[in-house]
């Protein structure tokens, strides 16, 4: 390639914290979003990486032209520092990144004209077919990002008809999605997230979650297929097996009346709607708040077993289990005991959306001090969860159902939910677990107290 003055590697980044035991397992190169010969800008997304918890976007380290894609799509166990591909830095690339060129194709044409060539060069041999033609990018279309080209193909949008809002008039993904009728550039996933948010669910778990994964299956016999496990599914299987085999669980179960929670929640949501705020407080948000305050009330339960030592936390970071297509993900609400219900609801909704889209960053799902697993929206009466190591406590929450209850010797009908605490007996004794569960119940019976 003429004019090449340097070659810059595209490397696999460190996707997990250094202390994470899964950091050395590597990640999967799920897909390339560029092809050899494409011009990319610094910070532009060039690939998607699949970890045990999420799909992470890989950005280009510099502006340049894609010279080589070394690691193939679908490669598993790629460790940090591995060179995935190469970028060539040349004058054409620099001009394109500064917005002076008319497009990837026209930049190549002008470069050849300067050198005396009269014919337009053919596209790179391994350029995907959807990157050319009337749908996608062509020589007459404005410059566009790889994500925009992919979105154009998926939504049947002609890039030539779009005015780009990116640097130098470049068409970006939001421009394509907006042209496809998705307001404000929101993706189809984001649109479905809005529908889920407005549904009368008392949990953040989704009945139709989405996480990018590589679908490979092999027919074993008639009616039976062997489906390759994703990185996330493998990690869940290994960690849950280790947790059940190596951590001495004990369970405490308690019933709690949820009538006041349901009543207060309804009033708060009416007030939020009257104020025009686009947020709904769920029953699960009350449970998150109650557990966070309970851990503050009983600090001896906010611990982790660490071999010859015990880690006692001054902070209260609550992990909330979210169902995704790839498996269970637990984004963390930091300092949950210091946040009000509305703030918790907004943060849970935001992190749950990232989890379902496979976009959580490691710092958003690592380091919780306790976990909540709520299956009440499915009508489950009791949940006996498996601990999420190295955490010492996880709270299982069942549905708040109408049941017969006795109050002062009189029979009444009330909404009752089952709370089940699973604890690591190496770190938490039965009495400590009972104190924590009693504190959570007291908060839920009197939810107005949680607002003080």
Residue 408 has phi, psi (to 5 degrees) of 55, 40
Task: List C-alpha distances in Å: 301 to 103, 425, 430.
Answer: 60, 11, 10
From residue 316, give the alpha-carbon distance in Å to each of 124, 295, 304, 370, 439.
Answer: 53, 7, 12, 8, 15
Q: Is residue 425 annotated as a catalytic residue, yes or no? A: yes
Q: Which of 13, 34, 266 is nearest to 145 (CA)?
A: 34
Q: What's the CA gap between 426 and 441, in Å, rounded?
A: 24
User: From the candidates 249, 296, 425, 426, which is the catalytic residue?
Assistant: 425
Q: What are the φ/ψ torsions at residue 419 (nearest 5 degrees)?
A: -110, 130
Q: Which of 107, 176, 185 is nearest to 147 (CA)?
A: 176
Here the tokens at position 130 are: 């959807």
Dihedral sign (CA 67, 70, 74, 77): negative
Q: For 329-332, which contacts have Cβ atoms below 8 Å and span 24 or more sequence positions?
A: 329/53, 329/54, 329/232, 329/355, 329/360, 329/365, 330/365, 330/368, 330/371, 330/388, 331/355, 331/360, 331/364, 331/365, 332/364, 332/365, 332/366, 332/367, 332/368
Query: Could you tell me the CA-to-CA distances from 133 to 34, 127, 179, 281 in Å, in that order?
Result: 17, 12, 18, 48
Cβ neighbors of 388 (< 8 A, separation 6 or more) are 239, 243, 319, 330, 368, 371, 394
Assign 269 to helix, strand or coil.
helix
Query: 154 vs 146, 161, 176, 184, 206, CA distance in Å?
Result: 12, 16, 10, 18, 24
What DSSP element (H or E) covers 342? helix 341-357
Helix (H), strand (E) at residue 323 = strand 322-324
User: SS3 of 15, please?
Assistant: coil
Indicate which residues carry an active-site annotation.
425
């Amino acid at each position: 390639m003429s004019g090449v003055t340097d070659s810059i590697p595209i490397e696999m980044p460190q996707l997990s914290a250094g202390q994470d035991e899964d950091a050395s397992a590597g990640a999967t190169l799920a897909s390339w979003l560029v092809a050899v010969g494409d011009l990319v800008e610094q910070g532009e997304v060039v690939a998607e990486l699949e970890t045990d918890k999420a799909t992470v976007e890989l950005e280009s380290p510099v502006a340049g032209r894609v010279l080589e894609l070394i690691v193939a799509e679908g490669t598993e166990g790629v460790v940090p520092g591995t060179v995935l591909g190469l970028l060539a830095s040349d004058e054409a690339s620099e001009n394109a990144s500064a917005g002076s060129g008319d497009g990837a194709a026209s930049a190549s044409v002008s470069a050849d004209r300067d050198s005396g060539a009269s014919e337009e060069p053919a596209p790179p041999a391994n350029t995907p077919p959807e990157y050319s033609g009337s749908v996608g990018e062509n020589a007459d279309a404005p410059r566009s990002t790889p994500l925009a080209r992919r979105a154009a193909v998926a939504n049947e949008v002609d890039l030539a008809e779009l005015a780009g809002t990116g640097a130098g008039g470049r068409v970006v993904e939001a421009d394509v999605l907006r042209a496809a009728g998705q307001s404000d550039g929101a993706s189809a996933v984001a649109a479905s997230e809005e529908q889920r948010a407005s549904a009368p669910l008392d949990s953040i778990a989704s009945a139709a979650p989405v996480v990018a994964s590589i679908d490979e299956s092999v027919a074993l016999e008639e009616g039976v297929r062997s489906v390759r496990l994703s990185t996330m599914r493998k990690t869940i299987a290994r960690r849950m097996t280790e947790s059940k085999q190596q951590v001495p669980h004990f369970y405490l179960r308690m019933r709690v009346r949820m009538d006041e929670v349901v009543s207060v929640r309804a009033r708060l949501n009416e007030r939020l709607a009257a104020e025009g705020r686009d947020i709904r407080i769920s029953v699960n948000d009350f449970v998150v708040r109650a557990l966070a305050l309970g851990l503050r009330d009983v600090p001896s339960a906010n611990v982790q077993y660490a071999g010859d030592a015990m880690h006692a936390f001054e902070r209260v970071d609550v992990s909330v289990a979210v169902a995704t297509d790839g498996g269970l993900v637990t984004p963390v609400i930091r300092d949950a005991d210091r946040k009000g219900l509305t703030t918790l609801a907004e943060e849970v909704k935001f992190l749950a959306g990232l989890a379902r889209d496979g976009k959580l960053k490691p710092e958003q799902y690592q380091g919780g001090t306790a976990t909540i697993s709520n299956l009440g929206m499915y009508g489950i009466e009791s949940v006996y969860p498996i601990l999420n190591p190295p955490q010492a406590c996880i709270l299982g929450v069942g549905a708040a159902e109408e049941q017969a209850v006795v109050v002062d010797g009189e029979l009444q009908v009330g909404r009752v939910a089952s709370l089940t605490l699973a604890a690591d007996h190496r770190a938490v004794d039965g009495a400590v677990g009972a104190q924590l569960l009693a504190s959570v119940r007291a908060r839920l019976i009197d939810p107005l107290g949680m607002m003080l």
